[in-house]
Structure formats: C-alpha cells, structure tokens
Copies of this chain bind each other. A is one copy, B any other.
C-alpha cells in the first residue's frame, strides 16, 4: 500500500508536499510511532507530541546546513524517520537499528549523542558562536521542553543566549508536563503564557532578554510552518514557545470505553501505570510477559520498607529528581507517602543540596535516581553532602555495566563515587542487605551514604532461590528461609556494620571478593573452582567500596595465596585496583575482574561480559592459571 512516508527519504522530500499532505504524513508517522512503541518500546508520549513540530522544522529549515539540537534527544523519532532512518521504525527486523537518541554516527542530520537533560541551549549557543566567529551562515535551533526547562544547565544556557546574540532559535516544547509532573515556579509562568496566548506579562524568557513568540497550535503543521518561516534567518536569539500535547493520538481509555476518541487509536494491550508515565517510556509488547526489572523490584522494596516509618519520622523524605516510576517509586507509594515524597523535577544539583539542608535540620532525606544522573550533582555530593557530613542516603540505580546506550551507562559509577572523600559507598550483595543498609543509612548512620541498588544478577539469583519480589512476600517467609541470611554485615565496627568484609563461604587458597551485584558470580566461580580444581575458595561480600578492608585482607594472608576481586564496573579508578595496590607489599597476589575504561553504546551485556572475561569459565581459568603461575 502506498503511503506518503514511502516517498520521504530525506527532509528535501517534504519541501514539495501540500499542507494536506503534510497533515496526512503526520498521521502516518503518528500511527507508525504508536505501532513501533507498542511492539518495541520507546519514549512514546514525548515523540507523539512533536510529530508536527518536527515536520514543520524540516519543512522550513534546511538541515544539515541549519542545525537542530534536540534536548535529551529522546523525542527525535520523527526526525529520524524523516532523515533516512525510517526503516528502523517500519521494519520490525530493523527495530533497534537506530538508537533512541540522536547520533552523529547514524546521520549527518544529528550533531550530538545526547541522553541527559538541559544542555541543548548551551550546545546550540556553541554551534551558533563558532558559525559567527568563522563568518558562516545558517540557523541553529535548540528544541527543548518536556521537563528539561527547569534544569540548571538549561537556565545557564538561556541566560547566556541573550548575551551572545546572533541567530539562535530556541523552540520550547511545552507539553504541559514533565516526566511525572512539572515542578517549580517556572511552570506556572508557562501556564500563564498558555492561558493568555503568550501575552502574559510574566514572561520568563523576555525577562532573560530573549525575543519571544507563542504558537498555541503546536500540533498543527500550518501555524508552526508559519511561525518558523517568520523567524528563519532571524538575527538575534528568539524563543518559540509551542503548546503541544504529550501522547497525542493515544486513546486516553480502553477502546470499549466512552472516553476514547473515535479517531484515536487505542492501545488496550499497552501496559500503563498512570497516563503520564505510560507516555514517558513505553515498554514494548515483549515486556508484557516479563517480570519487573531489578530497579523496580528493589526500588519498590525500599519504598515499602520506608513507608511504615513515615508516621513517626516527620523528617524522613524520599526525593526523586523525576523518573520515579523507573525506580519502583510507583503512584501508590507516592500517594501514600504524601509529604514524605518530593519530586523536584529534573534538577539533580538542587536535589542533593536540598537534601543537605533537610539533613542539617535533622531530617532524613533519601535521594533516588540513576547513577548517570547523579553525575549532574557530583559537586553537590562532594561539597554539600560529603564535606558537610550531611546525613543523606543516595539510592543509586542502574549502576554497573549494561547493554544500555552510552549516555545512560553506569559502568563508571564506582569510580565516580569512590573518588569522593567522606562518602560511605555501599554495595549490597543481596536484597536483604540492601534493606539493612537502607535502614542503617537512614537510621543510626547520620552520615553521607550512597547505596548501589541491587541489579539483575542479584535479582536473578534471588528469584532462582525462591525469594519473592516484594517486601511483604519476604517478610511473610519463615525465619531462616532466606538463603542469603548469612550475608549480613559482620563488621566489628559498631559505628559502621558494613565497614568490614563479610565471609559468605570460608575456604582457603583463593579468596573471591564479589562486590555487590557480582556476589552471585563470585559464588558461581567458587563452585566452578571446586568442581574443576578441587579448590575450596573463600567467598567474601565486601559490602562497601569506600576503602579496602586491610584488616580482613591481611588476615587472609596465612591461608590464601590469591585474592580475586570482581566488580561490574570499570577497573581503572574503581574498587579492585585499590585492593590490588593495598596488597602490593604483601606476598598475596591479586587478580582483578571488571570492565575496561571505555564508552559503550548498546553493546549487549553478554558481549561485554565476554570481552571483559566476566564469565564463570573464563574467570575460573584465569584463577587456576594465576595459581599455577605462582607455584
């Protein structure tokens, strides 16, 4: 069947379409996006909001001579479809052939690999400035919205734009909502601007001395084309505020229900947990049959453990800089938690500094987000948290090597956190220890603590051992049933029960230290050593990666010839190398397993494990070989 999209291989092909054809093309793309995300998954809601705006931008501007920088770039699907990459959305066999973000490796129409929030304006300022310094031409456009505007980097960029001058177009994609909710006073000004057709006196953009236009019909190509045409080749920075609808085209109810619009496709098969979040990230059909991932399981367990305490601990609060649901902070919890839950929006610097204030006044803040998002608060973690000794607990999700895209890869989380003095860095080897660590950090510790939330390896091993996915399920088990009850903190330091390495299995010759998510792997390698070489290895749970436990390591000397460290992050600057260096003057040898220091983009975990020698067989081989070399 012939579609308009069949004839679109580059933005040039848009130039001769009529207005009606452009509208039909938008409908085709919208239907395609819904089908694609239904099958494969993706940022559905944000992409549905910007179909028309993206078409209009490509109709008016001339990429790649002109430049378009999508903030976060999670909403660039239509852009990809229009710039020669539609096969990755139309052909199920090629799903996954392009990344979920812009990528210069994929296309000359993409300038940057982006996956974090708020930098598009600064990036566009840079593109425009070099253009002006070099005497070049062309429009530079930043496309930002969807919760990004309240982030510090976005403000710094906006504030600079006016000063820089010259051609610069900032499209503010105002879809009325952030990932979960918009937060902060800024969004009230946006609401006032929407309500007045852009006429409100309270205009945060004009206050920053930026020119300003408003387009109410942000999902109509005609008005968008007109607005963009009017400002094409403008000689100064301008904000074009467009009002879009997130998730447009998605039925708001089941098809059987009266709420669904007649002309809107409905998606009864789509998993949904609240309208907004279903629109944020849509899991594909295959995910339907899958059990929840480790982030959701352990995140939810943590929230369930905190919730009963709220009544008696007024200062105990959970802070989420957006994306709560991905971390198991589900709407039920948020509703129950009431004022004990604070979504501060995409503002990680604020989240940590805010938490330092909460803690100073006697409160007990828990800040939950992904490891790469904590990068955005490195300075506040070091200054307001660590130097100030603030009693904050960071719940660090999505740590360690994974098959994710480069911008969300947590492979250097250990190296980042353990570079900060004064921070207690914990890595639980089990779900139970995770909860014990959380209880300690939010209880007697009163110090800066970061806890790595258990990942897929621990989850798989606990499921295999018959442990339920919920706190309730675990609490209802018979005492002693939990197969990992011997993993508990064995430290002798009453000030910090996690200070000393714990013994999981007592053996000899080889001591295997499996940090956090690598503990199950350490046990497997120990099994393999026994089977293959008759070696009864010691297995240890280090609990923490702040500093080497020299006491325990030195005590090992007598019966062990080899210490093996295993971590699911980069070795250089990481945890195991500190242990290797500490043992340098000893007679004991140290073998470190971990990742190379490198950038990986969507490389499957199985391949990474193979590359880094993190499989049971390879690890066992290396250990046996090291022991033989030593003989």
Contacts and interface: CB of A to CB of B under 8 A. Distances in A.
Contact of A207 (B157, B186, B372, B375): B186
Contacts of A379: 116, 372, 375-376, 378
Contact of A162 (B188, B380, B590): B188
A581 B579 CA distance: 9
A556 interface: no
Contact of A159 (B124, B186, B315, B598): B186
Contacts of A420: 412
A411 B420 CA distance: 10
Contacts of A375: 378-379, 382-383
A365 interface: yes
A112 to B, nearest CB: 5
B347 A156 contact: yes
Interface string A578-591: 10110011000111
A190 to B, nearest CB: 10
Nearest to A203: B207
A244 B132 CA distance: 37
Contact of A597 (B186, B421, B629): B421
Contact of A350 (B133, B160, B416, B629): B160
Contact of A585 (B345, B358, B629): B629
A214 to B, nearest CB: 15
- Most chain B CB inside 10 Å of its own CB: which residue of A133, A158, A210: A133
25 contacts: A122-B353, A123-B354, A123-B360, A125-B354, A126-B354, A127-B361, A129-B358, A129-B363, A130-B358, A134-B315, A134-B363, A159-B183, A160-B183, A186-B208, A189-B207, A202-B206, A387-B406, A411-B421, A412-B420, A422-B599, A580-B581, A581-B590, A584-B584, A584-B589, A585-B589
B360 A585 contact: no
Interface stretch (A87-95, A268-276, A456-464, A569-577): A569-577
Contacts of A124: 357
Given A119-B353, A126-B354, A416-B416, 16 more contacts: A111-B360, A112-B356, A118-B349, A122-B353, A126-B361, A127-B360, A128-B357, A129-B317, A130-B357, A150-B156, A162-B185, A185-B207, A186-B207, A375-B379, A412-B419, A580-B584
A277 interface: no
A220 interface: no
A96 interface: no
Contacts of A570: 419, 421
A151 B156 contact: yes
B185 A159 contact: yes
A362 interface: yes
A383 B314 CA distance: 38
- Most chain B CB inside 10 Å of its own CB: which residue of A151, A156, A412, A598: A156
Contacts of A388: 104, 112-113
A411 B350 CA distance: 25
A331 interface: no
Nearest to A161: B185
B133 A162 contact: no
Nearest to A340: B133
A114 to B, nearest CB: 7
A611 interface: no
A573 B573 contact: yes
Nearest to A310: B133
A407 B592 CA distance: 33
A361 B126 CA distance: 8
Given A119-B380, A151-B156, A375-B379, A315 B130 contact: yes
Interface string A169-193: 0000000000000011110110000
The 9 closest A-B pairs by CB, nearest first: A126-B357, A152-B152, A162-B185, A159-B184, A156-B350, A122-B353, A415-B419, A185-B208, A378-B378
A61 to B, nearest CB: 16
A519 to B, nearest CB: 21
A162 B184 contact: yes
A204 B134 CA distance: 34
A494 B347 CA distance: 43
Interface in A610-631: 626, 629
Contact of A153 (B380, B576, B584): B380
A133 B315 contact: yes
A315 B128 CA distance: 11
A27 to B, nearest CB: 34
Given A159-B185, A584-B592, A134 B357 contact: no
A446 B69 CA distance: 21
A240 to B, nearest CB: 17
Given A353-B119, A421-B598, A597-B421, A160 B133 contact: no
Contact of A157 (B154, B350, B358, B407): B350
B119 A153 contact: no
A607 to B, nearest CB: 17
Nearest to A184: B159
Contacts of A592: 581, 584
Interface in A537-572: 547, 570-572
A131 interface: yes
Contacts of A152: 118, 151-156, 349
A359 interface: yes
Contact of A363 (B113, B130, B412, B626): B130
